[in-house]
């Protein structure tokens, strides 16, 4: 299983990196309703920090980001080809717990790939944080250097302005009016 495919299915919701139930069902090669059924039968294994149901507003925001053309009104069950129920969002721990609920060899292999994708994304995030810190350090060091240059330029400009304000005798050919 390619990590890029899995990474494209990981979203950030409520401060968690999550995968949605229908994406997981596709990866596990089961129907979403069977995945949800297995989760509901073992709901005690999925506390709020492992799995939660998206709110309608969160789903709308995610759906807009997908650019999906299917329209769904979950509250009134008016559907034109979309989903009927709000999706479950599984955190990394929830995805790991899914392997104990879905007992197939495909589920185990997919789970291993998903865990690798989550770990890789965490490593990338740490790398970005280190890079951001280095950029901030560079900005602070260069800011002090540039402030000295700015002060020197300000002094030069003020001296130039003073020289312009003082009247000087013109140099060159002077024509006297007769």
pLDDT interval class at 1 (50, 70, 90): low
Query: How far is Cα 66 from Cα 39, in angstroms, rounded to an integer?
Result: 25
19 DSSP β-pair partners: 10, 90
73 DSSP β-pair partners: 78
Q: What is the pLDDT of residues 68-90, one digit of tens each?
A: 545 444 545 554 556 678 889 99
> Who wins on pLDDT, 125 or 49?
49
> Who wins on pLDDT, 70 or 35?
35
User: Which is nearest to 38 in space by CA: 62, 21, 50, 54?
Assistant: 21
Q: What is the pLDDT of residues 116-147, one digit of tens each?
A: 777 887 777 777 778 788 888 877 777 777 77
- Residue 67 to residues 46, 63, 64, 71, 80: CA-CA distances in angstroms? 30, 6, 5, 11, 16
Q: Is 34's pLDDT higher than 60?
A: yes
User: Which is nearest to 18 in space by CA: 71, 90, 125?
Assistant: 90
Q: What is the pLDDT of residues 12-27, one digit of tens each?
A: 888 888 889 888 888 8
């Amino acid at each position: 299983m390619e990590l890029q495919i899995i990474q494209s299915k990981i979203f950030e919701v409520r401060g968690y990196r999550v995968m949605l139930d229908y994406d997981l069902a596709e990866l596990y090669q089961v129907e979403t309703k069977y995945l949800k059924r297995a989760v509901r039968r073992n709901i005690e294994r999925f506390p709020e920090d492992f799995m939660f149901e998206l709110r309608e507003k969160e789903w709308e925001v995610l759906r807009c980001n997908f650019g999906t053309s299917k329209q769904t009104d979950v509250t009134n069950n008016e559907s034109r080809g979309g989903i009927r129920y709000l999706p479950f969002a599984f955190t990394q721990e929830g995805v790991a717990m899914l392997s104990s609920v879905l007992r197939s060899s495909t589920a185990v292999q997919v789970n291993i790939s998903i865990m690798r994708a989550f770990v890789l994304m965490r490593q990338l995030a740490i790398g970005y944080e280190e890079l951001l810190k280095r950029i901030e350090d560079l900005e602070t060091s260069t800011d002090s250097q540039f402030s000295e240059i700015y002060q020197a330029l300000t002094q030069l400009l003020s001296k130039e302005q003073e020289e312009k304000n003082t009247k000087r005798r013109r140099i060159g050919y002077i024509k006297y009016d007769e």
